[in-house]
Amino acid sequence: MSIFAYDMGVPSIEAFFEKRLAQGRAYFTREEAQAAFDLSPHALSVALTRQVRKKRLARPWRGFYLILRPEDRAFGAPDPVRWIDPLMQYLQLDYRIALLRAAAFHGASHQAAMVFQVIVPRQMRGFEIGRQRLEFVYQNPQAFVQVNQTGWLGSLKSEAGFAKVAGLELTLLDCARYFHKAAGIGGLAQIAKDLGGQAKPSDLAQIAVHYENSAVRRLGYLLERAGHVAQADALRPFVRQAKTAALLDPSVKPLVEGLPGLHEKAPGWRLILNESVEVDF
């Protein structure tokens, strides 16, 4: 079969797309396409590239393709929740949807996720595809394996199946650890207020063992400030392990470089409150 037959809409390629869509699999790998069609590797590459140009396909990763429905074409790609799981399976890499998208999933109504954030145990470059933007956040592999457990994960459902998402307690600790990617300290404070009361104190304490002590203390302080006393108390034992006081927001620089300035302290959490925090009620 010639490459030109594909571009003319010969039923075989249409049937391939339709069969995948009917199965709820709006994606395929290059290897699957190679097995389905009697084309040389070069001819297949040209055929797939032309389908991408026609906006019938999108390619978020080399060798991995998305079949675009008409409603997807205006955005250049469907919501990543519909294809992140098969993509990560293709890459043979464990993952979890996290931070702002996970917080919104759990009910943090103030958080608008402008980027689809995924935590992985490997350094990966994010990318944009159409109007969708993906960001991969690195977590130390040892810590990742310890916390990316079934009991601490949830699942996001779409018509394509399920995708792994951080559970509520894991979301809180991820946002505390990577607060600079979760709308800053103010964003973390809002998430702590919105979600903290639903968190299981015992799970928080168990997961927190695998996070930096300063991140745990920041979360504990913000949970206490939001009135979620039981959850804050579950994290209080971590204060005894702290060797030094930490800044609430280490990204805030003093007015005069080299001078620490005078800041209010939260001795109960060994924090220096160098940033005011406000949340919506």
Q: Which tokens sit at 221?
A: 């302080």
- For residues 147 and 177, the answer to whether their CB atoms sit within 8 Å is no
Q: Which tokens sit at 176?
A: 């505390």
The span from the CA of 278 to the CA of 189, in Å, is: 8
**Residue 3 pLDDT:** 37
Q: Is the pLDDT of residue 13 over 90?
A: no
The span from the CA of 205 to the CA of 162, in Å, is: 27
Could you report the per-residue pLDDT of 94-108, keeping only the tens digit for each? 999 999 999 999 998
Q: Is the pLDDT of residue 128 over 90?
A: yes
Edge-first strand order for the sheet with 27-29 is 27-29, 64-67, 57-61
With CA atoms as reference, report the closest residue to 166 among 133, 212, 118: 118
- For residues 274 and 184, the answer to whether their CB atoms sit within 8 Å is no
Query: Does the reported pTM lie above 0.75?
Result: yes
Q: What is the mean pLDDT of residues 74-80?
A: 89
**Residue 7 pLDDT:** 43
Q: What is the mean pLDDT of residues 1-25?
A: 65
Q: Which tokens sit at 198?
A: 């639903």
Could you report the per-residue pLDDT of 179-231, keeping only the tens digit for each? 999 989 999 999 999 999 999 999 999 999 999 999 999 999 999 999 999 99
Q: Where in the chain is the domain with CATH 1.10.10?
A: 3-71
Q: Is the pLDDT of residue 25 over 50?
A: yes
Report the CATH architecture of 3-71: Orthogonal Bundle (1.10)
User: For residue 119, what are the β-bridge partners?
Assistant: 96, 137
Q: What is the mean pLDDT of residues 157-184?
A: 93
